[in-house]
Amino acid sequence: MIKMAIRFIQFILVLVAASVACFIILSIVLIYLRDVMTPLQFIPTRTLLFSIGLIQIVLFILACGWSVGKPLIYFIRWINRLYDGNYRQPEDHVRTQSKDPLQEKNYRYPYALYKELFEEMSQLSEQLHHSETERLNMEAKKQEWISSISHDLKTPLSYIEGYAHMLTAAEYHWTDEEKSNFSRQISDKTADIKRLIQDLNHTNRWPVEQFPMDRKREDVVNFLRDVVIDIANHPLAEHALFTFTASESVYRMDFDSKLLGRAVQNVLMNAVIHNPPGTRVTCEFAVQDNSGFIVIEDNGVGIDEDVLKEGMVHSGKGIAIARAFVEAHSGRMNITKADGGGTRVEITLPN
């Protein structure tokens, strides 16, 4: 701000010097013209000099007012735009822009008098824009997370609904061991629902703009086998045939079992729900280029290309949720038609 004050003093001194020079020049010219032009001879010299001085004072005040007032009005408009959420600087033509962003900007008068203030305001606008973008990005991630939890709540609820229906069905007489197994399954799925609701309650506590990750180094082969067995025991999957194979008996990777489990569950449940009874669903795991390669394939009716595109871009859909969780692991998910006419889902996870 010291530089800006010095610049103002220099500007005033130049303006005063220019006014004095103009006063002297005009006085000499009028005095010379007074001897040549008869009408001027009737005007006293003092009156002429006073008139010139008065005009010079008015022009000096107007020049100062223009130099100070025009940038201030500009700043007021700029602040109002920031208040309305518009973080772009108004009227960029007030300065000459350089193609090199590192090169110092050349401001035109009278804006050059406020050079430091312009720089501070520009930094403030950029910071506000960055903060707003960050906030919107985090809000979108939170909404996507909430949609995914809402969608994934359907899976354990369908377990509970199915087993409860089986227990209350009058046409079946279950043994005590079967009833105990149903009750245990219902208890486990109730715990899953509680965990999902807890995740939902913790949404507003996220400090970052991505899914909350809890990576641990675990055996992915055993993990995938358990997920396939769990889905195969789902009441809706009793007419589907599941197969799991792996090229490795044990393979440890860093992954979040909750997120990856929900991704694989969504893919497997899609294969069950959208295909007729008797559909074969295979899950294969292999290691390729130091990455885990998961293939889930069915011989069902396949998936329409338009439905696939819509599901991949809309959060809250099972496919989009699965892809988001895979990408949260820095992985990739690709969906194509299987050779048998069904659907093939390929998931690559870097180790």
Q: What is the pLDDT of residues 129-169, one digit of tens each?
A: 888 888 777 777 777 667 767 767 777 788 787 878 777 77
DSSP calls for 252-302: EEEE-HHHHHHHHHHHHHHHHHTS-TT-EEEEEEEEETTEEEEEEEE-SS-
- What are the CA-CA distances from residue 139 to residues 118, 133, 135, 205 (Å)? 31, 10, 6, 12
CB atoms inside a 10 Å sphere around CB 93 = 8
Catalogue the E-assigned strands of 113-269. Answer: 216-219, 241-246, 252-255
The Cα 349–Cα 218 span in angstroms is 13
The Cα 161–Cα 158 span in angstroms is 5
Q: How confident is the model at residue 92 (pLDDT cuts 50, 70, 90)?
A: low
Q: Is 217 exposed, middle or buried (CB count within 10 Å of its CB: 0-12, 13-18, 19+)?
A: exposed
Domain parsing of the chain, residue ranges: 2-127, 153-203, 216-350
Vertex 159: Cα angle to 200 and 141 (nearest 5): 25
Q: Is 162 exposed, middle or buried (CB count within 10 Å of its CB: 0-12, 13-18, 19+)?
A: buried
The Cα 286–Cα 316 span in angstroms is 29
Cα within 13 Å of Cα(168), Cβ side: 6
Q: Which of 30-39, 77-86, 116-125, 213-222 has the highest mean pLDDT?
A: 213-222
Per residue in 94-135, pLDDT (tens digit) is 555 545 444 456 677 777 777 788 888 888 888 888 888 887
Cα within 13 Å of Cα(289), Cβ side: 3
What pLDDT, on a 0 to 100 scale, did the predictor assign at position 101?
Answer: 47
What three-state secondary structure class fits 175? Answer: coil
Residue 283: both structure tokens together: 């899950």
What pLDDT, on a 0 to 100 scale, did the predictor assign at position 113?
Answer: 78
pTM for this predicted structure: 0.52
Q: Which of 57-66, 134-143, 221-230, 308-317 has the highest mean pLDDT?
A: 221-230
Bridge partners, residue 283, by sequence: 244, 296
Per residue in 267-299, pLDDT (tens digit) is 998 888 888 989 999 999 999 888 999 999 999
Least confident range of 55-64, 91-100, 251-260, 279-288: 91-100
Fold classification of 216-350 (topology level): Heat Shock Protein 90 (3.30.565)
| Amino acid symbol at 336 | T
Average pLDDT over residues 49-78: 84
What pLDDT, on a 0 to 100 scale, did the predictor assign at position 205?
Answer: 52
Average pLDDT over residues 171-188: 80
Q: What is the dihedral of CA 155, 161, 162, 167, to 10 degrees?
A: 150
Residue 254: both structure tokens together: 């860093």
Question: Residue 314 pLDDT more than 60?
Answer: no
